[in-house]
Structure 1
């Protein structure tokens, strides 16, 4: 099963990105969600992300995963490009003939993309659609862009800052479990599964980041590997130690029930829908109050401290390597 490159392999890729001009304020780096490019009066925040494993609502996931990265970079997402690669067979061995417009899979995915982009007031400005013989499921890759007057990198956390998490762990994973694995959720009521499927409506962190960017020194969008890997990436990008008590990490009832039924750890499961931020100690109360005023759940989950080697200290145990995404075993 695939997944993100490990940090060493990724370093080899990031070392081959060409010369970075002086207009590049935030370039490619482990843990960074988005690039920041100086346009003069504004900064352009840009991020790309693929969706390939989830069977349901990949258009919804694709829009939010890309737009969330721009949001935690400090900008409201404004523009999207969509690259959609579709298997040449419909899934039952039947070859697909004709144009992409005649394919129900393409129509379903792009209808989701259009709906979610419209809800965020984001324009789809380009992309590419193609049939690929070697694929056995659709692959959607999206690039999001937005402008701001101040970028917020993942690398900005400072010792003494407090760590804030919005909504909770495993929100994206909960929605995937409730749809892709509904028939496997033994012992979980249909009502709970239905509520969990509605977590697709909670995937955006654009409102969360809009509030937090007024206070945050760093922001990050935990996706693959969940909150755990998100914290590892934030610590590495900022060169700090993050001290976190797992009991303070919000986990919704539906997430706890579905993850328990499938024997996956919500802290290690797809985390879109939550935003991680570091906030100066003197500002954390105002940040939490502003989130509450906006109707966004949030909690302070830990502290940033200086360290010779970056790491996550979770419940007293030190971690400096990302973990494997918990849901991957379910697709194997």
Structure 2
């Protein structure tokens, strides 16, 4: 199998089809396009999600916290805390462990959440540190959202920029190589600064209060992979106008030099939101200082990307460009 997130076909056959269900308190169960479980606690629901961080040299603690909590935000819930599992190779120094934990703690403090516990282990099964975070949040039963709620005719709204997380990783881990390829120091520093934009908690909570139909945060496979997953969950199609997709200048420069498709690049920090009132939502988000853009519509038909001179029909979720680049380099 290819490195990275398991493809949708294998995910269904090897994982989802093997899982049984029995507890009626579970309101949202494992499903393609749904990244969190929602559990009934009467007036309130608990929302839980787990994510690992691999393939990153620095800042993995910050990424682990934000990626897990972003899934909670996509369900319109406020994160309360995280549990972390940390697997370390025997070669790991005490200083490296402290640096990872400090990174996790700083990210948790910024989100105003607690570290609730977890597990730390040294093992020769891994050759690099592996951080896995489980986030838990809560909201009221009438406020939680899902990916499967998207409706035909809805506007597709996205926040911030496409490929945000991948840009930050590449600008940091391949700084010297990109500098040698001609990407300016200014652009690389602006790309690194995108690490401060990884959370989608603010837009998730605002959008849930606004009353949107669905949300899904962008992760592996980038914007197009995440919209594809969302459309599968909702059993619908979409049309995206590629020229409307917000592309950061640092992402554009890095993607051109490394021959990466920025729309398929891992993108934590961008939220996909569907609503019948896209313009109104964009105004509300911008009032809170959150960049937001309408890029297309939910449809009954195919999954279409419209470019200036052609239309591309997506029949499967694309492989993530960061994983492809790492495998080839």
Per the normalisation by structure 1, the TM-score is: 0.93
Root mean square deviation of aligned Cα: 1.2
Q: Please say if residues 62 and 107 of structure 2, whose CA atoms lie closer than 8 Å, have aligned partners that are also in contact.
A: yes
Q: Displacement of 1:89 after TM fit?
A: 1.6
Partner of 1:17: 19
Q: Displacement of 1:254 after TM fit?
A: 1.1
SS of the residue 2:148 aligns to:
helix
Distance (whole Å) between structure 2 residues aligned to residue 279 and residue 64 of structure 1 = 24
Gaps of at least 5 residues in structure 1 are 91-95, 97-102
Partner of 2:3: 2
Distance (whole Å) between structure 2 residues aligned to residue 237 and residue 11 of structure 1 = 12
Distance (whole Å) between structure 1 residues aligned to residue 22 and residue 246 of structure 2 = 39
Distance (whole Å) between structure 1 residues aligned to residue 42 and residue 105 of structure 2 = 31
SS of the residue 2:321 aligns to:
coil
Partner of 2:257: 261
SS of the residue 1:136 aligns to:
coil
Q: Please say if residues 76 and 207 of structure 2, whose CA atoms lie closer than 8 Å, have aligned partners that are also in contact.
A: no
Partner of 1:176: 169
Distance (whole Å) between structure 2 residues aligned to residue 20 and residue 3 of structure 1 = 30
Report 1:182-261 matches (<5 A).
Answer: 182-185=175-178, 186-213=181-208, 214-261=210-257
SS of the residue 1:323 aligns to:
coil
Distance (whole Å) between structure 2 residues aligned to residue 246 and residue 212 of structure 1 = 23
Q: Structure 1 residue 313 and structure 2 residue 304: aligned?
A: yes
Report 1:1-332 matches (<5 A).
Answer: 1-12=2-13, 13-90=15-92, 103-149=94-140, 150-185=143-178, 186-213=181-208, 214-280=210-276, 283-307=277-301, 311-315=302-306, 316-332=311-327
Q: Displacement of 1:15 after TM fit?
A: 2.2
After TM superposition, the runs of 4+ consecutive aligned structure 1 residues lying more than 6 A away are: none
Gaps of at least 5 residues in structure 2 are none
Distance (whole Å) between structure 1 residues aligned to residue 78 and residue 203 of structure 2 = 11
| Count of residues paired in the alignment | 316
Structure 1 stretch 139-148 or stretch 19-28: which is displaced more?
19-28
Q: Displacement of 1:87 after TM fit?
A: 1.2
User: Residues 137-178 of structure 1, C-alpha deviation per residue, up to 9 Å, x if partnerless?
Assistant: 111110111111122100000011110000010110110011
